[in-house]
Amino acid sequence: MTAITPSTAHMTQTKHIWVITGPAGCGKTSVAEYLHQQLSLPYLEGDGFHTPENVQKMADGQPLTDADRWDWLILLREQSLLTLTKPHPHVSTSQPPSGVIVTCSALKRKYRDVIRIAAYHRPDVLVHFVFLQASESALMDRVRARKNHYMKDYMVHSQFQSLEAPMEDELGLDCMSVDASGTSKEVQELALDAVEKSIHKGSQ
């Protein structure tokens, strides 16, 4: 039997990729920032990894196509894995973080499948999707209230047309649904509770 030494212990620790998903206006950034603060985990804002061409298309009111998203999804997946190999600057340890928080709309199952590949050759990595669920009308109102953001309110409708909410098999696998119809604080706390329950369940 191979002994686990301090230098290799972190390699056997389960690492988590927490993907905060849902349509525009559901509160992905707010929830991710809250989890980042409460769990002391690094955070990757998915929108920051879009190409300039994708950002311009969205600013012009053009929905992204599947072809526009593939490289973005792959980049997010690879950056998530890379982040898990680096010490987190805000935690007083030289070890890589136990998880990373990522925002990504991941509206379709095939988009989520691209992220899931992160765990295919990494038995120490688990991918989780926190789906923030709210009505189209509620999210339209929220996006209308935003200022200086490239996502327009009418694009929420486009996203709902594309949306494939996690079905029962995904919810039983690696997805959790969180009610995002309440206040920002309420949604943050519901998401944190769901994540903490998942961590506790995985440690049993």
Tell whether the model's pLDDT for residue 117 goes beyond 70: yes
Q: What is the pLDDT of residue 145?
A: 72
Q: What is the pLDDT of residue 94?
A: 63
Q: What DSSP line would sit under 62-116, residue for residue? A: PPPPHHHHHHHHHHHHHHHHHHTTS--TTSS-SSPPSEEEEE----SHHHHHHHH
Average the pLDDT over each of 131-135, 155-159, 187-191 and give the range with the smallest value: 155-159
Tell me the mean pLDDT in the region 97-124.
Answer: 95
User: Does 3 or 180 have the greater pLDDT score?
Assistant: 180
Under a CB-based contact definition with an 8 Å cutoff, are residues 84 and 13 in contact?
Answer: no
pLDDT digits (tens, 9 = 90+) for 48-63: 999 999 988 887 878 8
The predicted model scores a pTM of: 0.86
Tell me the mean pLDDT in the region 154-166.
Answer: 86
For tokens 């929905």, what's the residue?
63
Nearest to 48 by CA among 126, 109, 102, 96: 102
Confidence bin at 152 (pLDDT 50/70/90): low
Q: Which amino acid is at 27?
A: G
Domains of the chain: 6-203 (3.40.50.300)
User: Over the chain, what is the mean pLDDT?
Assistant: 86
Cα–Cα distance between 14 and 10 in angstroms, integer?
A: 8
Tell whether the model's pLDDT for residue 177 goes beyond 90: yes
What share of the chain has pLDDT > 70, as a percent?
Answer: 85
How many H helices and E strands in the chain? Answer: 9, 5
DSSP letter at 119 equals G
Cα–Cα distance between 45 and 49 in angstroms, integer?
A: 8
pLDDT digits (tens, 9 = 90+) for 18-45: 999 999 889 999 999 999 999 999 999 9
The enclosing H or E element of 17 equals strand 15-21
Q: What is the pLDDT of residue 10?
A: 42
Under a CB-based contact definition with an 8 Å cutoff, are residues 178 and 187 in contact?
Answer: yes
Tell me the mean pLDDT in the region 110-137.
Answer: 95
Confidence bin at 110 (pLDDT 50/70/90): very high
The widest CA-to-CA distance across the chain, in whole angstroms, is 60
Tell whether the model's pLDDT for residue 178 goes beyond 80: yes
Nearest to 35 by CA among 109, 84, 100, 98: 100
Under a CB-based contact definition with an 8 Å cutoff, are residues 18 and 102 in contact?
Answer: yes
